[in-house]
């Protein structure tokens, strides 16, 4: 069984992806579905900006606007940003540590399908009586008061996709702890792997509070519990704590992998080792650690009292220190380097001023008394978009260009990439910079309209115009993707020419077993070391060529997730008194637990790739590489 690109029928390819446990294919699944949800969230963003482009606009009704803003936030955070980052983690981290796959390939697949079905479930709310409308923060008093099933779609959908994310996090922790190649010590791990590691730890610790909070919400709304019902002795502030104990680390779950991607880019395209690697690693760990101690800065106006506010204000300020360390180390990485302004590097370079702007407004909001003015105004909207778009989304766009050749074996157009960049970057600053001032001028967030007498017309119009530019940039990216896929020009191992880490030492895309022989890591940036020493073969190996044990694909993860998807409908409609609801709930759970049982009882021992197959495969790879060399010189130049 050699999965290497024999021509397959369409149906066979679909079946392959439905059953795959290969981290590289799961990465592609994450990228496609995350990208799809990113477009959905983007359309929602455009609807918001159309509605707010002038005073008293009636493009969206009040209730619909609240649904759109809720789904924009929820979709972008849970269904777009995280999955796309998980796509890069899947595609790259195992390669960077020289592993043949993640520790639990089956769970990797299960994690994806849970996320996927959770996301679909959440978005089906648009067609089944209305989307959630209490904001992505879903504050309890409003959520309990919300009519219809919108909030139930939110809580059940996020429960399902949250399981998926938690599984993914655990998987990466185990993978990175256990599956590093010989010589790949912790302090030789590439920074993207480090940030994946820390972000996974944050997922492990941050998602349970969210799950607990959402469970309470589900029980309050569907099964008559009173955790948050004030009239029955419940307390809604508890929800805010649960949500933000999750929510703040969530921000770092997003931004740390983004930092990781940029760290890789700065080193590759400056042709220089990361300046202060150790400091960068410890800053990452510190940010992850502090991330759990600052959640109440989202709640300064709740009335927790001056002591709590002062403590959380100071704790929040401390985070600026490791973040500053990172910024300065990146600057010193490019300082004295040999900077090549490829598309990923342009994004990385643009990220620094954008993120610094978002960071300094973060410190301003850490000043609790000042935050009483800034909180829940457009200032905070501007701030978190500077951090999330200026940090995470720029990283996603950069990562898409950087890792596209490794994931697909082709190169996105640099020219179109630069067009995307300029539209997106200018549009981004135009949209959000002005919003700081809207907030200072008294505009609250989450308002579906504003009066002409408030003095906010001009800035809102500018902001909406910026959003249009961002949309154009993304459309150009789509054109770029389509054109690149159509052309299908293959590239070699190291298409950027200056790859430093292990993933660039193997073909693009890598064979399904990744490394025919596990490489021996002799320092930070192992592939760079070999290149500098003139190693023609690429790497030094830690083992002789021999049989490789690989896992079989499985359809069970899909079925487990499908069962939960079905059960969620049963749970939700059960409250409406439909007779079919309870059987659907039980049936769905039966599918889930039944397929788990099948998985437990049926031995699946995987298969071996034999030495002979590896040799044959290697010859084919060599042949293709030579053909590529002959066809044209290198990838980039």
Stretch 68-87 residues interacting with another protein (CB under 8 A): none
Residues 230-289 touching another protein, rule: CB under 8 A, are 230, 235-237, 270-273, 275-279
Token couple for 618: 């290697």
Tell which one of 117, 262, 403, 433 touches another protein (CB under 8 A). Answer: 433
Tell which one of 31, 281, 296, 357 touches another protein (CB under 8 A). Answer: 357
CB of 361 to another protein, least distance (A): 8
Number of residues that bind another protein (CB under 8 A): 99
Tell which one of 437, 468, 562, 581 touches another protein (CB under 8 A). Answer: 437
CB of 530 to another protein, least distance (A): 14
Q: Taking Cα atoms as reference points, which of 28, 36, 45, 31 lies closest to residue 424?
A: 45
b or e along 49-63 (b: 16 or more beta carbons within 10 Å of the residue's beta carbon)?
bebbbebebebbeee
Concatenating the DSSP letter of every residue in 169-237 gives HHHHHHHHHH-PPTT--GGGS-HHHHHHHHHHHHHHHHHHHHHHHHHHHHHHHHS---SS-GGGT--SH
Token couple for 309: 């506010």
The nearer residue to another protein, 376 or 624, going by C-beta atoms, is 376
The nearer residue to another protein, 331 or 597, going by C-beta atoms, is 331
User: Does residue 151 contact residue 138 with C-beta atoms inside 8 Å?
Assistant: yes
Question: Is residue 545 helix, strand or coil?
Answer: coil
- State how far the Cα of 26 lies from the Cα of 164, in Å rounded to an integer: 13
Stretch that binds another protein, among 15-23, 75-83, 139-147, 190-198 (CB under 8 A): 139-147
Q: Cα angle vertex 364, ends 462, 251, to 5°?
A: 80
The nearer residue to another protein, 376 or 613, going by C-beta atoms, is 376
The nearer residue to another protein, 104 or 386, going by C-beta atoms, is 386
Residues 312-331 touching another protein, rule: CB under 8 A, are 313-314, 317-318, 320-321, 324-325, 327-329, 331
Q: Does 583 bind another protein (CB under 8 A)?
A: no
The nearer residue to another protein, 271 or 599, going by C-beta atoms, is 271
Distances (CA, A) of 141 to 134, 221, 596: 9, 11, 37
Tell which one of 4, 185, 223, 306 touches another protein (CB under 8 A). Answer: 306
- State how far the Cα of 254 lies from the Cα of 206, in Å rounded to an integer: 12
Q: Does 464 bind another protein (CB under 8 A)?
A: no
Q: Does 461 bind another protein (CB under 8 A)?
A: no
| Torsion angle, alpha carbons of 576, 232, 236, 306, to 10 | 170
Residue with tokens 């003015």: 373
Q: Does 424 bind another protein (CB under 8 A)?
A: no
b or e along 251-277 (b: 16 or more beta carbons within 10 Å of the residue's beta carbon)?
bbbbbbbbbbbbbbbbbbbbebebbbb
Q: Does 353 bind another protein (CB under 8 A)?
A: yes
Token couple for 146: 């919300």
The nearer residue to another protein, 308 or 621, going by C-beta atoms, is 308
Stretch that binds another protein, among 39-47, 152-160, 207-215, 361-369 (CB under 8 A): 361-369
The nearer residue to another protein, 142 or 590, going by C-beta atoms, is 142
User: Does residue 193 contact residue 144 with C-beta atoms inside 8 Å?
Assistant: no
Stretch that binds another protein, among 93-101, 130-138, 215-223, 481-489 (CB under 8 A): 130-138
Q: Does 634 bind another protein (CB under 8 A)?
A: no
Residues 169-208 touching another protein, rule: CB under 8 A, are none
Tell which one of 302, 461, 520, 559 touches another protein (CB under 8 A). Answer: 302
Residues 506-535 touching another protein, rule: CB under 8 A, are 532
Tell which one of 4, 185, 338, 552 touches another protein (CB under 8 A). Answer: 338
User: Does residue 361 contact residue 379 with C-beta atoms inside 8 Å?
Assistant: yes
Tell which one of 128, 440, 590, 621 touches another protein (CB under 8 A). Answer: 440
């Amino acid at each position: 069984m050699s999965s290497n690109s024999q021509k397959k029928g369409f149906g066979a390819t679909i079946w392959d992806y439905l059953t795959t446990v290969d981290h590289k294919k799961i990465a592609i699944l994450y990228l496609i579905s995350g990208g799809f949800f990113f477009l959905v969230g983007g359309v929602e963003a455009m609807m918001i900006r159309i509605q707010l482009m002038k005073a008293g606009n009636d493009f969206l009704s009040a209730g619909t606007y609240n649904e759109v803003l809720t789904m924009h936030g929820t979709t972008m955070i849970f269904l777009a940003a995280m999955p796309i980052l998980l796509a890069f983690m899947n595609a790259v981290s195992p390669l960077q540590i020289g592993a043949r796959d993640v520790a639990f390939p089956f769970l990797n697949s299960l994690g994806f399908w849970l996320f996927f079905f959770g996301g679909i479930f959440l978005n089906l709310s648009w067609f089944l009586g209305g989307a959630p409308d209490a904001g992505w923060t879903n504050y309890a008093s409003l959520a309990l008061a919300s009519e219809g099933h919108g909030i139930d779609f939110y809580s059940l959908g996020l429960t399902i996709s949250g399981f998926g994310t938690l599984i993914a996090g655990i998987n990466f922790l185990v993978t990175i702890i256990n599956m590093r190649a010989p010589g790949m010590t912790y302090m030789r791990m590439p920074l993207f792997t480090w940030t994946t590691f820390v972000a996974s730890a944050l997922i492990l610790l941050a998602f349970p509070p969210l799950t607990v909070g959402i469970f309470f919400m589900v029980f309050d709304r569907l099964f008559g519990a009173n955790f948050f019902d004030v009239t029955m002795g419940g307390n809604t502030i508890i929800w805010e704590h649960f949500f933000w104990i999750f929510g703040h680390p969530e921000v770092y779950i997003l931004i740390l992998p983004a930092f990781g991607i940029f760290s890789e880019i700065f080193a590759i395209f400056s042709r220089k080792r990361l300046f202060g690697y150790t400091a960068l690693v410890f800053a990452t760990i510190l940010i992850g650690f502090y991330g759990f101690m600052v959640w109440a800065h989202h709640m300064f106006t709740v009335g927790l009292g001056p002591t709590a506010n002062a403590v959380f204000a100071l704790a929040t300020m401390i985070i600026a220190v490791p973040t500053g360390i990172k910024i300065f180390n990146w600057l010193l990485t490019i300082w004295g380097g040999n900077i090549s302004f490829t598309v990923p590097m342009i994004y990385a370079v643009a990220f620094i001023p954008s993120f610094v702007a978002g960071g300094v407004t973060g410190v301003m909001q850490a000043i609790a008394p000042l935050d009483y003015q800034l909180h829940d105004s457009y200032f905070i909207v501007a701030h978190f978009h500077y951090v999330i778009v200026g940090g995470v989304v720029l990283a996603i766009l950069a990562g898409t260009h950087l890792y596209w050749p490794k994931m697909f074996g082709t190169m996105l157009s640099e020219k179109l990439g630069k067009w995307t960049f300029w539209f997106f970057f200018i549009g981004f600053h135009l949209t959000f910079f002005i919003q700081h001032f809207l907030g200072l001028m008294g505009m609250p967030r989450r308002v579906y309209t504003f009066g002409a007498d408030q003095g906010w017309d001009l800035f809102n119009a500018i902001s909406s115009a910026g959003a249009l530019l961002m949309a154009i940039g993304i459309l150009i990216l789509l054109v770029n993707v389509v054109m690149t896929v159509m052309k299908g020009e293959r590239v070699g191992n190291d298409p950027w020419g200056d790859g430093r880490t292990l993933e660039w030492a193997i073909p693009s895309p890598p064979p399904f077993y990744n490394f025919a022989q596990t490489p021996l890591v002799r320092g930070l940036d192992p592939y760079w070391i070999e290149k500098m020493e003139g190693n023609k073969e690429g790497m030094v190996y830690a083992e002789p060529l021999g049989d490789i044990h690989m896992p079989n694909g499985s359809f069970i993860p899909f079925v487990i997730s499908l069962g939960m998807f079905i059960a969620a409908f049963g749970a939700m409609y059960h409250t409406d008194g439909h007779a079919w609801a309870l059987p659907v709930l039980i049936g769905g759970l039966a599918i889930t637990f039944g397929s788990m049982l099948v998985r437990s009882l049926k031995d699946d021992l995987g298969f071996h790739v034999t030495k002979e197959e590896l040799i044959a495969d290697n010859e084919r790879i060599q042949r293709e590489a030579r053909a590529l060399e002959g066809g044209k010189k290198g990838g980039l130049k």
